[in-house]
């Protein structure tokens, strides 16, 4: 930690002191430090392994783009070290959704959706600039949009079914290949990557986004699906009230339509949302199923949230209603009947902040 503080102070041109560990991850160390004048900054130092190298590049390039997130004050490519402005201790969207104030949670959720939609819409002309920034901060790894992660997930999903002793329904491989990345080419928008509730501060000045480690351009439908599912790849997963879920999705859609007017067409929007739901349901299954099969466990180590089995069953049940993907629908029906039938886990509950309202 001392070495990180000295290097960050030298990079910033001001000595730093009084570090507070904000709890990073296996990829990074995150510290809040004071300057001699009493101001605070955030220092983020990344490890030397592939996932951390890509995370550094994503964070540095995404913040350097300057469209969202804290101001990037200094960056050291060789040391994989960033110094950024401190956004303070405002509540996160997760704090509000897991709290007891439904009005504050509703305002935060809609502000989150509008903010992500505005970011996606205004970012479209800056795609080449982001690519240049990725190269400038690059650690020799491709960006997420250059990594065929959806195709890799599709192949891994087919392998996982075999591993579980299940036979993939006819046509599944073709359906998974068809969801592909076409929407990313037709309707790209910038995203911090991890737009889960704990990475979004709800401040008096509005939404402030954190964690740009997976930043890049992707289909706006993949971000919109976070409104509908909700929070496609996150730990903070409960059910939203049906009316609020619709309003959240429409808040995001209203912003991206300003850049992509044809997304106002209902059939086009619903087809794109269905493809995105397939992508994220496959992703959730890959990340959770192997741990959920032998035993259940919570989605977060310290927060009182639902379990992996609850979330998986909810994702699979929701996917039964997806139009235009009969082989995938047959697959989730198989997962529910063959794997989840014996799970002694209650139905996924609604978010604590909205417990008095019926959930979707």
Instruction: Identify whether residues 73 and 100 lie together within a single domain.
Output: no
C-beta separation of 176 from 282 below 8 A? yes
Burial class (CB in 10 A: 0-12, 13-18, 19+), 276: buried
Same domain flag for 177 and 275: yes
- pLDDT for residue 182: 60
- What is the pLDDT at residue 224? 96
- The pTM for the full model equals 0.93
Cα 231 to Cα 107: distance, rounded to the nearest angstrom: 17
Domain shared by 80 and 98, yes or no: no
Asked whether residue 67 falls in the same domain as residue 154, the answer is no
What pLDDT, on a 0 to 100 scale, did the predictor assign at position 1?
Answer: 82
pLDDT in tens, the chain (360 residues): 889 999 999 999 999 999 999 887 888 999 999 998 889 999 999 999 998 999 999 999 999 999 999 999 999 999 999 999 999 889 999 999 999 999 999 999 999 999 999 999 999 999 999 999 999 998 888 888 888 899 999 999 999 999 999 999 999 999 999 887 666 689 999 999 989 999 999 988 889 999 999 999 999 999 999 999 999 999 999 999 999 999 999 999 999 999 999 999 999 999 999 999 999 999 999 999 999 999 999 999 888 899 999 999 999 999 999 999 999 999 999 999 999 999 999 999 999 999 866 666
Q: What local confidence, expressed as pLDDT, does residue 183 receive?
A: 66
Domain boundary among 55, 85, 115: 85
Q: Which CATH number is 262's domain given? A: 3.90.1200
Task: Looking at the structure, tell me whether residues 155 and 255 fall in a common domain.
Answer: yes
Residue-level pLDDT at 310: 97
Q: Which of 360, 180, 195 is nearest to 275 (CA)?
A: 180
CA distance 193 to 214: 4
Whether residue 284 is preceded by a cis peptide bond, meaning omega within 30 degrees of 0, is no
Q: Are residues 111 and 73 in the same domain?
A: no
| 81 sits in which H/E element | strand 81-85
Count how many domains the chain has. Answer: 2
The residue out of 85, 102, 127 marking a domain boundary is 85
- For 64, the domain range is 2-85
Task: Please indicate, yes or no, if residue 360 is contained in any of the structural domains.
Answer: no
pLDDT in the model for residue 152: 93
Same domain, 57 and 202: no
The pLDDT of residue 360 is 67
Q: Which of 47, 64, 85 is the last residue of a domain?
A: 85
Q: Which two tokens stand for residue 247?
A: 């309003």
Same domain flag for 74 and 132: no
Predicted local confidence at residue 247, as pLDDT: 97
In a domain, 18, yes or no: yes
pLDDT for 359 equals 66
Same domain, 300 and 349: yes
Is residue 359, in this structure, part of any structural domain at all? no
Do 220 and 244 fall into the same domain? yes
| DSSP assignment string, 184-219 | HHHSEEEE-S---GGGEEEETTEEEE---TT-EEEE
CATH number of the domain bearing residue 69: 3.30.200.20
115, 11: one domain: no
- Specify whether 159 is located in the same domain as 243: yes
């Amino acid at each position: 930690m001392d070495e990180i503080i000295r290097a960050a102070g030298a990079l910033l041109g001001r000595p730093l002191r009084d570090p507070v560990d904000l709890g990073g991850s296996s990829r990074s160390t995150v510290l809040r430090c004071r300057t001699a004048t009493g101001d605070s900054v955030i220092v983020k130092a990344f490890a030397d392994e592939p996932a951390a190298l890509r995370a550094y590049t994503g964070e540095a390039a995404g913040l350097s783009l300057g469209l969202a997130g804290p101001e990037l004050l200094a960056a050291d490519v060789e040391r994989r070290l960033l110094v950024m402005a401190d956004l303070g201790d405002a509540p996160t969207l997760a704090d509000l959704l897991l709290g007891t104030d439904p009005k504050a949670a509703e305002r935060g959720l809609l502000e989150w959706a509008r903010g992500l939609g505005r970011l996606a819409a205004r970012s479209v002309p800056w795609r080449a600039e982001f690519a240049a920034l990725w190269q400038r901060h690059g650690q020799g790894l491709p960006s997420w949009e250059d990594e065929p992660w959806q195709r890799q997930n599709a192949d891994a999903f087919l392998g996982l079914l075999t591993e579980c002793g299940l036979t993939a329904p006819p046509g599944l491989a073709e359906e998974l290949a068809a969801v592909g990345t076409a929407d990313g080419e037709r309707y790209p928008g910038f995203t911090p990557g991890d737009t889960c509730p704990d990475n979004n501060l709800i401040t008096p000045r509005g939404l402030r986004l954190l964690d740009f480690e997976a930043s890049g351009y992707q289909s706006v439908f993949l971000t919109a699906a976070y409104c509908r599912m909700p929070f496609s790849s996150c730990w903070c997963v409960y059910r939203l009230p049906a009316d609020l879920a619709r309003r959240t999705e429409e808040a995001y859609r209203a912003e991206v339509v300003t850049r992509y007017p044809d997304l106002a067409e209902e059939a086009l929007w619903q087809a794109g949302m269905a493809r995105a739901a397939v992508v994220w349901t496959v992703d959730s299954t890959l990340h959770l199923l192997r741990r959920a099969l032998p035993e259940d466990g919570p989605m977060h180590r310290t927060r009182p949230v639902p379990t992996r089995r609850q979330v998986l069953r909810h994702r699979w049940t929701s996917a039964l209603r997806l139009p235009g993907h009969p082989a995938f629908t047959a697959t989730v029906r198989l997962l529910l009947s063959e794997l989840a039938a014996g799970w002694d886990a209650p139905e996924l509950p609604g978010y604590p902040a909205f417990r008095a309202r019926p959930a979707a």
